[in-house]
């Protein structure tokens, strides 16, 4: 009985171990089978080509430049007003008119000022006659020297009164102190004006000046007569050529910057006082650099990267692939960036679509729409 019971227990143990072995074998076999199937599926899947735009790297003349911003101002600009009080009697201009230097613009009512001038002029004329007569009589010893001296003093006093009255009349006549363009009229006919009341603004627009600031380190790179180029948002894509005419002899102690003034020809009056302008000053000798659209370079903390497109054989067919390479970049101008190392002229560089790429990614080139690559594009207004 004991032997039969022991044999039965051993048999059950063997059966249980066999069953467990079959179960474990089945699980292991299923995992192997699943891994094999997944590997086959992954191997059978092709890496889809990503659509990108590209450009062929080329060398171009590149000149380092200083960038600054500033405001335009007129060569001469003034708010015209009368020195004397009075009532506006007439205008001799239209809003926005170009006027010559000395042109009469506004006349205040003179009332009896002209009559007073004529009266004083008559007194001066009489004093002149008296002086001339007594001077002749002096030669004939008909009057004393004291009488002639008194006549001369009277004549000078009469002339001074005439000049004073004429100056008062002139103060009531507002003339253009220089040639330029008028603004809009600020007063009306019949309006009483006190001295200093602005009537109209006058601006000399050709040439026009641009004042801007540069850090003190730039002093060694600029000089009077140096060419500059300015751009304004009003005329996108257009550059205005000018030259430096003055450099401040004083550096601002708070910002350590210096003020520079440039002059620009402005025959079409496209530039106006108060406009915000961006200025570029070429410094140093031109260099030959590989230039790319700025979008082609991905800026990273560990280095700047571009993707180069090359061809390789894939199953007997030519296929374009993108590979990452690190580059050393230089300055920027407009939409372009200079590449000092990492890209050679003639290589094909991805300009958009880099976020979808990794080393060896197949690509399809579509240049129907490409990023801008204008060397003269204006930078965004920092304000």
Read off the pLDDT of residues 181-234 as tens digits, 9 standing for 90 and up: 888 887 878 878 788 788 888 888 888 899 998 888 888 888 888 888 888 888
pLDDT higher than threshold 70 for residue 123: yes
Q: Which comes out higher in pLDDT, residue 34 or 178? A: 178
Quick check: is 37 in a domain?
A: no
pLDDT higher than threshold 60 for residue 383: no
* pLDDT tens string 28-41: 777 777 776 666 65
Question: Which residue is listed with tokens 């239209």?
Answer: 94
Quick check: is 272 in a domain?
A: yes
User: In this structure, how many other beta carbons lie within 10 angstroms of the beta carbon of residue 313?
Assistant: 8
Quick check: is 108 in a domain?
A: yes
Quick check: is 380 in a domain?
A: no
pLDDT higher than threshold 60 for residue 153: yes
DSSP type of residue 40: H
Pairwise CA distance, residues 54 & 352, whole Å = 7
Note whether 221 and 302 are same-domain residues: no
Note whether 235 and 301 are same-domain residues: no
Pairwise CA distance, residues 365 & 269, whole Å = 46
pLDDT bin (cut points 50, 70, 90) of residue 167 is: confident
pTM: 0.59
Give pLDDT, residue 382: 42
Instruction: Work out the burial of residue 367: count CB atoms within 10 Å of its CB; fewer than 13 is exposed, 13-18 middle, 19 or more buried.
Output: exposed
| C-alpha dihedral sign at 124, 127, 133, 134 | negative
Pairwise CA distance, residues 216 & 218, whole Å = 5
Pairwise CA distance, residues 282 & 227, whole Å = 7
Note whether 244 and 271 are same-domain residues: yes
Is the separation of the CB atoms in 330 and 60 below 8 Å?
A: no
Query: Which two tokens mark 354?
Result: 């880099």
Q: Which comes out higher in pLDDT, residue 113 or 178? A: 178
Q: How many domains does the chain have?
A: 4
Q: Which of 319, 357, 290 is nearest to 62 (CA)?
A: 290
Cβ neighbours of residue 226 under 8 Å, at least 6 residues apart? 243, 244, 281
Which strand (E) or helix (H) includes residue 149? Answer: helix 145-171
How, if at all, do strands 361-365 and 50-56 pair?
Answer: parallel
pLDDT higher than threshold 60 for residue 90: yes
Quick check: is 38 in a domain?
A: no
* pLDDT tens string 59-89: 887 777 778 888 898 888 888 877 777 788 7
The verdict on whether omega for the bond into residue 207 sits within 30 degrees of 0, i.e. cis, is yes
pLDDT higher than threshold 50 for residue 381: no
Note whether 183 and 95 are same-domain residues: yes
Give pLDDT, residue 159: 83
For the chain, the maximum distance between any two Cα atoms, rounded to a whole number of angstroms, is 188
Domain containing residue 294: 50-61+287-365
* pLDDT tens string 292-345: 888 888 888 888 888 888 888 766 677 888 888 888 888 787 778 888 888 888
Share of the chain above pLDDT 90, in %: 2
Give pLDDT, residue 3: 60
Quick check: is 372 in a domain?
A: no
Note whether 181 and 248 are same-domain residues: no
CA 215 from centroid of its chain's CA atoms: 17
Query: Which two tokens mark 155?
Result: 């004549």
Question: Which residue is listed with tokens 């060398």?
Answer: 59
Note whether 249 and 305 are same-domain residues: no
Q: Which comes out higher in pLDDT, residue 4 or 250? A: 250
Note whether 158 and 213 are same-domain residues: no
In sequence order, what are the beta bridge partners of 336? Answer: 293, 333
Give pLDDT, residue 316: 63
Note whether 265 and 318 are same-domain residues: no
Note whether 213 and 277 are same-domain residues: yes
Note whether 293 and 271 are same-domain residues: no
Is the separation of the CB atoms in 47 and 364 below 8 Å?
A: no
How, if at all, do strands 317-333 and 361-365 pair?
Answer: antiparallel
Give pLDDT, residue 96: 80
pLDDT higher than threshold 50 for residue 380: no
Note whether 167 and 70 are same-domain residues: no
Quick check: is 11 in a domain?
A: yes
Give pLDDT, residue 147: 77
pLDDT bin (cut points 50, 70, 90) of residue 2 is: low
Pairwise CA distance, residues 89 & 106, whole Å = 8
Cβ neighbours of residue 167 under 8 Å, at least 6 residues apart? none
Quick check: is 225 in a domain?
A: yes
**Mean pLDDT in residue range 139-147:** 74
**Mean pLDDT in residue range 250-275:** 87
Give pLDDT, residue 314: 65
Note whether 173 and 246 are same-domain residues: no
């Amino acid at each position: 009985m004991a032997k039969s019971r022991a044999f039965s227990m051993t048999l059950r143990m063997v059966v249980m171990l066999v069953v467990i072995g079959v179960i474990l074998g089945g699980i292991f076999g299923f995992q192997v089978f699943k891994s094999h199937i997944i590997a086959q599926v992954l191997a059978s899947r092709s890496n889809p080509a990503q659509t990108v735009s590209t450009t062929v790297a080329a060398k171009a003349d590149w000149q380092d430049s200083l960038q600054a911003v500033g405001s335009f101002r007129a060569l001469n600009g003034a708010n015209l007003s009368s020195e004397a009080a009075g009532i506006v009697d007439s205008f001799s201009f239209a809003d926005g008119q170009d006027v010559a230097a000395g042109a009469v613009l506004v006349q205040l009512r003179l009332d009896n000022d002209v009559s007073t001038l004529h009266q004083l002029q008559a007194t001066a004329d009489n004093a002149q006659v008296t002086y001339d007569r007594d001077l002749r009589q002096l030669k004939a010893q008909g009057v004393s020297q004291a009488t002639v001296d008194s006549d001369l003093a009277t004549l000078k006093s009469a002339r001074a009164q005439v000049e004073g009255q004429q100056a008062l009349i002139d103060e009531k006549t507002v003339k253009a102190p220089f040639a330029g363009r008028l603004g809009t009229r600020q007063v009306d006919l019949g309006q009483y004006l006190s001295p200093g009341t602005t009537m109209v603004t006058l601006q000399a627009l050709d040439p026009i000046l641009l004042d801007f600031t540069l850090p003190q380190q730039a002093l060694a790179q600029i000089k009077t007569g140096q060419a500059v180029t300015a751009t304004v948002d009003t005329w996108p894509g257009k550059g205005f050529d000018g030259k430096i005419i003055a450099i401040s002899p004083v550096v601002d102690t708070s910002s350590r910057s210096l003020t520079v003034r440039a002059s620009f020809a402005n025959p079409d009056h496209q530039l106006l006082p108060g406009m915000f302008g961006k200025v570029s000053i070429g410094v140093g000798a031109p260099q030959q650099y590989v230039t790319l659209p700025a979008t082609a370079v991905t800026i990273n903390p560990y280095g700047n990267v571009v993707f180069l497109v090359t061809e390789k054989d894939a199953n007997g067919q030519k296929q374009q692939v993108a590979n990452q390479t690190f580059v050393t970049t230089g300055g920027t101008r407009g939409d372009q960036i200079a590449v000092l190392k990492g890209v050679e002229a003639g290589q094909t560089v991805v300009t958009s679509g880099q976020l979808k790429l990794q080393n060896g990614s197949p690509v399809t080139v579509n240049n129907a729409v490409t990023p801008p690559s204008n060397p003269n594009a204006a930078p965004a207004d920092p304000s």
